[in-house]
Amino acid sequence: MKTILAARRQFASDNNAGICPEAWRALDEANQGHARGYGDDLWTEKAADLIREIFQTDCEVFFVFNGTAANSLALASLCQSYHSILCHEIAHVETDECGAPEFFSNGTKVLLLTGENGKIDPAGIERMVKRRTDIHFPKPRVISVTQATEVGMVYSIDELKAIGEAAKEFGLKLHMDGARFANAVASLQVAPSEITWKAGVDVLCFGGTKNGTHVGEAVVFFNRALANEFDYRCKQAGQLASKMRFLSAPWVGMLQDGAWLSHARHANAMAEELFDQLKALPGIRILFPRQANAVFAELPEHVIAGLRDRGWMFYTFIGKGGCRFMCSWDTTKEDINAFVADLKSFLPTPFPKTS
Ligand SMILES: *Cc1c(COP(=O)(O)O)cnc(C)c1O
């Protein structure tokens, strides 16, 4: 068999990173002896308790395998099939989930809003809700926001409150796709409650994978009534893990001593470093301010090709286009220096050689 060599760290996605030590240790501990299946174990209880502690409220918590399932099942639990979900036009639920929210809700329509930096403009909510109020059009029922957004920006407390108020005014539920929730909390330096239930969020899909666990996202219902029979929904969708402790234990590892925040803070800081190095270079246009762990930039075609030639991996189709560089819990300054050194080698030198 061919040996699979350790590959170098990349900037393609924070899900390219491995498992952080805290999650790994918890997995190892959870691997001692036997435990009951399907979430009826002490690890799952502890993980849910820690989430309740962090959010300072008695929320209902479920663990599923990935973000698409978390979002789709959470959204499905908020709507009937004749309802609609309002989200940003570049929201992951619209662009990257293969129609799963519509599928799991049996046909709920996703309606698209616009706004700067991947954030919903609250005025657009009213426009969309009032555009059609007749029986021939699916009735708006949910707003979905992404925190941090798909272009690495972060909704402030006030921005979320404004959306929460619009939701209340128009009788809508509020869902938050928090695949990078930890990066948003680290960026804003706020209590997690401030940007969730206190701002009117009913359900949060709290991401673990991109922040250092091996797999698994938490679906957190602040509005407990909405969690009614969610366990059945998970089971039917194939999202009830029989060895549930291996989804929940890493959350204990991440949450009990604050690793979830220190890893997010680190990823954000590395993105800041990359941002600072890139913005100083000629011919490179930064596309968004840096707030979480992403940097978006426009690079000349030959530079993109050259970097790819040297084995660097990154996406060019996410969000609004341009190159996306994601930093992870394990990104190092050396990774950034190596990447930027390669990038610089494709740019014109300030002092052209004379022969
Ligand atoms: C990665 C991501 C998800 C989850 O994706 P899965 O691949 O299904 O785990 C959800 N929302 C956003 C914004 C993401 O970046």
Q: Are 219 and 74 in contact (CB under 8 A)?
A: yes
Taking the centre of ligand 1 as the mean of its atom positions, its distance from the CA of residue 92, in whole angstroms, is 7
Q: What are phi and psi of 110, to 5 degrees?
A: -95, 125
Q: Is residue 242 part of a domain?
A: yes
Whether residue 314 sits in one domain with residue 209: no
Asked whether the predicted pLDDT for residue 206 surpasses 90, the reply is yes
Same domain, 244 and 295: no
Residue 93, pLDDT score: 98
Ligand 1 neighbourhood includes 75 CB (under 6 angstroms): no
CATH number of 195's domain: 3.40.640.10
Average pLDDT, the chain: 96
Paired with 325 in beta bridges are: 295
Which residue's CA is the nearest one to ligand 1's atom 5?
67
Domain limits for position 27:
21-255
CATH number at residue 300: 3.90.1150.10
Pocket test for ligand 1, best of 153, 177, 328 (most atoms within 8 A of CB): 177
Task: Enter the DSSP assignment of 5.
Answer: P
Nearest-angstrom CA–CA distance, 328 and 322 = 19
3-state SS string over 210-250? Answer: HHCCCCCEEEEECCHHHHCCHHHHHHHCCCCCCCCHHHHHH
Ligand 1: residue whose CA is nearest its atom 1:
179
Task: Name the residue with the closest Cα to ligand 1, atom 2.
Answer: 179
| pLDDT for res 317 | 80
Alpha helices in the chain (DSSP H): 21-30, 42-55, 67-78, 92-95, 100-104, 122-131, 157-169, 181-188, 230-236, 245-256, 259-279, 301-309, 333-344
**What does the pLDDT average to over 119-137?**
96
- 247 CA to centre of ligand 1 in angstroms: 16
Whole-number Å distance, alpha carbon 329 to ligand 1 midpoint, is 17
The helix (run of H) or strand (run of E) holding residue 143 is strand 139-146
171 domain residue, yes or no: yes
Q: Answer yes or no: do 176 and 83 share one domain.
A: yes
The pLDDT assigned to 355 comes to 52
Question: What is the residue with the minimal CA distance to atom 7 of ligand 1?
Answer: 67
d(C-alpha 255, C-alpha 53), whole Å = 10
Pocket test for ligand 1, best of 13, 16, 73, 96 (most atoms within 8 A of CB): 96
293 within ligand 1 shell (Cβ under 6 A): no
CA distance 256 to 261: 11
Angle (CA) 235-77-48 rounded to 5° is 65
pLDDT value at 89 more than 90: yes
**How close is the Cα of 9 to the center of ligand 1, in Å?**
20
Last residue of a domain, one of 209, 235, 255: 255
Is residue 88 in contact with ligand 1, taking CB distance under 6 Å?
no
Q: Give the count of domains, the chain.
A: 2
Rounded distance between C-alpha atoms, residue 230 and residue 15, angstroms = 27
In a domain, 6, yes or no: no
Radius of gyration, alpha carbons of the chain:
21
Instruction: Based on the fold, state whether residues 249 and 286 are members of the same structural domain.
Output: no
Nearest to 15 by CA among 179, 243, 244: 179
CA dihedral 90, 325, 157, 227 (to 10 degrees): 60
Does some domain include residue 4?
A: no
pLDDT for residue 352 = 56
Residues 337 and 192 in one domain: no
Q: Does the residue 12 lie in any domain?
A: no
Residues 56 and 165 in one domain: yes
175 C-alpha to ligand 1 centroid (Å):
14
Is the CB of 146 inside a 6 Å radius of any atom of ligand 1?
A: yes
Residue nearest ligand 1's atom 6 by CA: 67
Judge whether residue 187 has pLDDT over 70: yes
Instruction: Please check whether residues 108 and 179 belong to one and the same domain.
Output: yes
Residues 133 and 271 in one domain: no
pLDDT digits (tens, 9 = 90+) for 282-335: 999 999 999 999 999 999 999 999 999 999 999 998 766 699 999 999 999 999
Q: What percent of the chain has pLDDT over 90?
A: 94
Decide: residue 272, CB within 10 A, 0-12 exposed, 13-18 middle, 19+ buried. Answer: middle
Residue 26 falls within a domain, yes or no? yes
Centre of ligand 1 to C-alpha 6, Å, is 25
CA distance 172 to 166: 8
In terms of domains, do 301 and 166 share one? no
Atom of ligand 1 nearest to the CA of 71: 10
Using the 3D structure, point to which of 221, 255, 289 is the last residue of a domain.
255
CA of 157 to the centre of ligand 1 (A): 22
Instruction: Looking at the structure, tell me whether residues 137 and 248 fall in a common domain.
Output: yes
Q: What is the pLDDT of residue 349?
A: 77
Q: Is residue 351 part of a domain?
A: no
> At which of 225, 255, 285 does a domain end?
255
The closest-lying atom of ligand 1 relative to the alpha carbon of residue 65 is 9
Q: Are residues 108 and 190 in the same domain?
A: yes
Q: What is the pLDDT of residue 321?
A: 66
| Residue 147 CB less than 6 A away from ligand 1 | no
Among positive and negative, which fits the CA dihedral 61, 65, 67, 71? negative
The verdict on residue 231 lying in a domain is: yes
* Pair (130, 226) in one structural domain: yes
> What are the backbone dihedrals phi and psi of residue 57, each rounded to the nearest 5 degrees, phi first?
-160, 160
